[in-house]
Structure 1
Amino acid sequence: MNTRGQSVLRRRKCLRAALNPEASEEPIFDALIAARERFGDKEILEDQDRNPLTYTGLIRAAFVLGRKIAALTEPGERVGILLPSSAGVVVTFFGLHAYGRVPVMLNFTSGERNLKAAIKASGVKRVLSARRFVTQAKLEALIDDLATVTEIVWLDDLRQTVGLQDKLFGLMAGFFPNRFRVATAPSDPGVVLFTSGSFGAPKGVVLSQSNLVSNVRQVASHIALDPDWVVFNPLPTFHCFGLTGGVMLPVLTGMKAFQYPSPLHAKQIVELLPQVKASILFATDTFLNQYARVAGPDDFSTLQFVVAGAERVRDETHHLFNTKFGGVKLLEGYGATEAAPVVAVNHPDRNRPGSVGQMLPGMEWRTEPVEGITGGGRLFVRGPNVMRGYMSADDPRVIEPLQGGWHDTGDIVDIDADGYVSILGRVKRFAKIGGEMVSLAAVEGLAAAVWPESRHAVVSIPDSRKGEKLVLVTDRMDAESSRLSEWAREHGAPDLAVPKKIVRLAEVPVLGTGKTDYVGIQKLVETEARAA
């Protein structure tokens, strides 16, 4: 058999294994144990403190800490985690699973109001955090506010109570984890997350353990992953991209996971990448653009590829990677919290910039036409990684099931003959101007073509004459509509796509994940319009 044929055969075998129901129908902690058996007791986890953990070290630490937490909680209880990306959050996550508790990942950048709402919506009685983190992040006032609605449990205090007996217990549990862990089912809750809130109020999502494990298997069957690689994750674990891509994927596939607490530290991150021999970097376009600007030509030399998700990758970011770093492959993907999160992603050998790649193995999809929009359809997806439904607003224990298992992404997509997916925009991200549907994402693309080094956001507000009016919010302080109109005429873009009103800001608001904060921007523009 020739080399090409062998490669195809291996891929097919990998695909069958990845999509084997028995392989994906596995509780999270059991999947961790199985990974140690498969890859050996190698270093698997590290953070900026530079104290790496092996598989056995991670399992033992999870049992010791999990036992302490279990003494304070009830079986099946949902327990909040308010921590940055670190070895500590990974140990805490698996520690909860070792004893049948459910992690609820809380977004500490979302503010007091949203956090309290998330705590109430998910039925959380206790939140785990660390004093060192709270002090460094200056969250003392926030913690004081949260303490009025939930109990704050300090992991620092729990660790100080670990004695010889606990260490001996951890030693034995590390040898025989299957005997010590609490048995759970793949269908049991694996994590509670909240949607980003980029376009509206965050929704509570309960992902099963098999949802998360299945998504790891799907990605691993789509892209051949080398257990010798190192994944660098600066994304927060309250974001599904950071949790699945930055933690679950490397740990369950034998790759070392390096956790960094904030994606905002561009200079520190690019300096660390070659030091830790990072092979894969996960981030959003916002952060990747910043990293590319401050990085030297050799800072990305160890990277096999970079994976971008959560927001559209700008042409400028693609250009930076193509020209400045010797063609380091930038793979754009697409996902949703409701899908654990990866739905589609480009392949290192089949990368089509401008698309988000091909659907993962095991995904089903369909598109439905949207009135007034041509050249695409509203995307619905179904698969082993897709949640059963949203948490009920009335009762956190009740799940509102998806009809037929189909999740309505709310995204307008085009899928070509080769299966490559292009995101045209969200249903909510279209404006009806003079009877014509205009994509706000396309208008942002127009602004980016004129001022590629700036950040832009476009929203719409009511207009008495044309129904709606476009407003460009930009950090380009000399931006003028005339320049946009000139570009539109030269490139055949319709005049309807040119914003006549521009709001100039020192910084365009973003969420903690790096995604554009459209909700905040909409409120800002509407407030300014009322005051005018």
Structure 2
Amino acid sequence: SEYYLEWMLAVPCAGGIVTPLNYRWSFDEANAAIQLVRPAILVLDEQCRHWGEPLSELYPWMMQVFLEEDCESKFFFFLSFLRISPSWQLFTETNLDLCFAPNNIALICFTSGTTGTPKGVSLTHRALVAQSLAKLAIVGYSSMDVYLHTAPLCHIGGISSVLAMVMAGSQQLFLPKFETSAVLQALKDYEISTMIVVPTMLRDILEPGIFRKSGSDQVFPSMLTILNGGGSVPSRLLPAVKKTFPNARLFSAYGMTEACSSMTFLRLDGHVPLGVGSCVGKPPPHVQVGIKDGRIFTRGPHVMHGYWGQTIETAGVLQQDGWLDTGDIGKIDKAGNLWLLGRAKDVVKTGGENVYASEVEMVLSQHPSVSSVAVVGVPESRLSEIVAAVVRLHDGWTWSISEHPMTVSESDLRLHCSKQGLSRYKIPKLIVQRQDPFPVTSTGKVRKDMIKAGLSKL
């Protein structure tokens, strides 16, 4: 709600450091984060109020503040709280003596933890301002926008976007959490002009089954800008995006918490650039991106100060000359576009060959039956690892060996990979169909560690 944002802005303004905790964490996960940052004040709302008593016993010196919601609606408006007049009367009337400390830490933001325990990333005032300016320059937010909060404000994607909106002076509409029906209702009722999504959210919004429940396909002409993060937009979704949001520009961003969110932006004008890997566009002003030994590095005012309380881990990724090792594999083409080949940790090493999971996932996702896919390496005695894929099917498709046109099998998908030109050693040796949704982080990223653990038991 707006109370959350008030605290997020007020604490750094007062010279403190704000640390959002993930409301989806278990108590043990929240406790681990508190042990790391040791806050002076813990602010809780109704959803996390149950953490209060056990934490007060563990940390009796820590002050706790409880927020009471006074609005029963599922929508929370934030229309004019931050519309500061050019005369800056808000500050002159209270005689505040504000300090200029751009290099001081303003935010500790925890990573989404797709491969392990989340780390606390320390970000400075300068980094947050640089990221906001990058989004204003490339995406073009303005004071005329009505922004829908679809991303959680405990992760850097949501935080950086809301700060850009504050800088632009836009109006903002809060949702307690992402629910497809609530998002569609908000789009209909409040003439939303911009939002950020991850591919899972976008797919849910555009899902035909949702539209059938409402009686007819919906069109939202007020939407002007959509920023996608957390993964590439499947090309098959682009026609539906254009149909549902006819006036919208669709951008895709590549970033990470350690880089204060987005490092590159790509505008998708009705097509997704094809090639090995995913094209993620060019960096905005003041952001450097380079390739060293096949790995993607970035440097600039957006880069983190370090991992809070973890100097060894910081030294492992942040070089003395300011370059940050993203842990991703990539290349830069002749036009200056960055291509993401995958995570260095998301490479399957099979029979002496390296297979990028993202390349295999892209090929499998082009089959008409596949709704979503995750590719991992499964230990194997002879090859070290084999390429394994877990797929979820679109509604109406059946996992079966049959001549029926709406059925698909493991051999069908292998044949598809071969026809698409995938090398033999890259074609999955194991393909499993999954009915349940993939386990994901709160930012919608697939938990590959859990997928791999499940397959290893087969």
Question: Where in structure 2 are the equivalents of 1:309-348 lying within 5 Å?
Answer: 309-326=229-246, 328-347=248-267
One-letter code of the match for 1:497? K
- Match of 2:286, SS? coil
Counterpart-to-counterpart distance in 2, 1:446 and 1:88: 44
C-alpha displacement at 1:457, in angstroms? 1.1
Q: Paired residue for 2:444?
A: 514
Q: Give the superposition deviation at 1:386.
A: 0.9
Is contact 1:237-1:243 (8 Å) kept?
Answer: yes
TM-score normalised to the size of structure 2?
A: 0.82
- 3-state secondary structure, aligned to 1:473: strand
Pairwise CA distance, 1:184: 5.3
Q: Greater CA deviation, 339-348 or 426-435?
A: 339-348
Could you tell me which runs of 5 or more consecutive residues in structure 2 were left unpaired when the two chains were aligned: 71-87, 400-407
Q: For the Cα contact (< 8 Å) 2:364–2:370, is it kept in 1?
A: no
The equivalent position to 2:39 in structure 1, one of 124, 128, 138, is 124
Structural RMSD (CA): 3.0
Aligned to 1:282: 196
1:298–1:325 contact (8 Å) kept in structure 2: no
Q: Deviations over 1:447-498 (max 9, x none)?
A: 2122555222111122111110122223337263211221123222222222
SS in 1 for 2:19: strand
SS of 1:202's partner is coil
Structure 1: runs of 5+ lacking an equivalent:
1-85, 160-171, 370-376
Does the alignment pair 1:423 with 2:340? yes
**3-state SS of the aligned residue for 2:67?**
helix
| Secondary structure of 1:231's aligned partner | strand
Distance 1:177 1:525, change over 3 A: farther
Give the alignment partner of residue 355 of structure 1, picking from 268, 279, 288: 279
Aligned with 1:180: secondary structure? coil
Q: 1:243 aligns with which of 154, 159, 172?
A: 159
1:293-352 C-alpha deviation (Å, 9 max, x unpaired): 135654422111211002222223324213444374321111111111111112478986
Residue pairs, 1:404-443, within 5 angstroms:
404-443=321-360
- Contact 2:364–2:417 (CA<8 Å) still a contact in 1? no
For residue 258 of structure 1, report the CA deviation from its aligned partner: 2.2
The whole-number CA distance in structure 1 between the counterparts of 2:381 and 2:316 is 41
From the two aligned structures, give the one with the greater helix fraction: 1
Distance 1:401 1:202, change over 3 A: same
CA gap 1:404/1:351 in 2 versus in 1, 3 angstroms: farther
User: Which residue of 2 is the match for residue 403 of structure 1?
Assistant: 320
Residue 249 of structure 1 aligns with an amino acid whose one-letter code is A
Percent identity over the alignment?
25
State how 1:153-172 maps to structure 2 within 5 Å.
153-156=64-67
Identify which range, 343-352 or 421-430, moves more after superposition: 343-352
- Equivalent residue letter for 2:121: V
Whether the aligned pair in 2 keeps the contact of 1:450 and 1:487 (CA below 8 Å) is yes
Q: Does the 8 Å CA contact 1:335/1:343 hold for their aligned counterparts? A: yes
1:213 CA displacement: 0.8
C-alpha displacement of 1:152: 6.9
Give me the TM-score of the superposition, normalised by structure 1: 0.71
Give distance in 2, aligned partners of 1:122 and 1:147. 16
Answer yes or no: is the 8 Å Cα contact 1:234–1:283 preserved in 2. Answer: yes
Q: Give a deviation string over 1:247-295, Cα, whole Å, max 9, x none.
A: 10011122222222212x1011112124222111111111111011135
Q: Name the SS for the 2:418 alignment partner.
A: helix
- SS of the aligned residue for 1:468 comes to strand
Distance in 1 (CA, whole Å) between partners of 2:182 and 2:123 is 33
Q: What is the aligned partner in structure 1 of residue 82 from structure 2? A: none
Deviation readout 1:155-182 (Å, 9 max, x if unpaired): 33799xxxxxxxxxxxx98363672365
SS in 2 for 1:346: strand
Shift of 1:415: 2.0
| Corresponding residue SS for 1:512 | coil
Residue 498 of structure 1 corresponds to which residue in structure 2?
427
Is the Cα–Cα contact under 8 Å of residues 196 and 226 in structure 2 kept in the other structure? yes
Residue type at the aligned position of 2:428:
P
Alignment correspondent of 2:15: 100
Q: Do 2:8 and 2:18's aligned partners in 1 also have CA atoms closer than 8 Å? A: yes
Q: What is the distance in 2 between the residues matched to 1:199 and 1:119?
A: 21
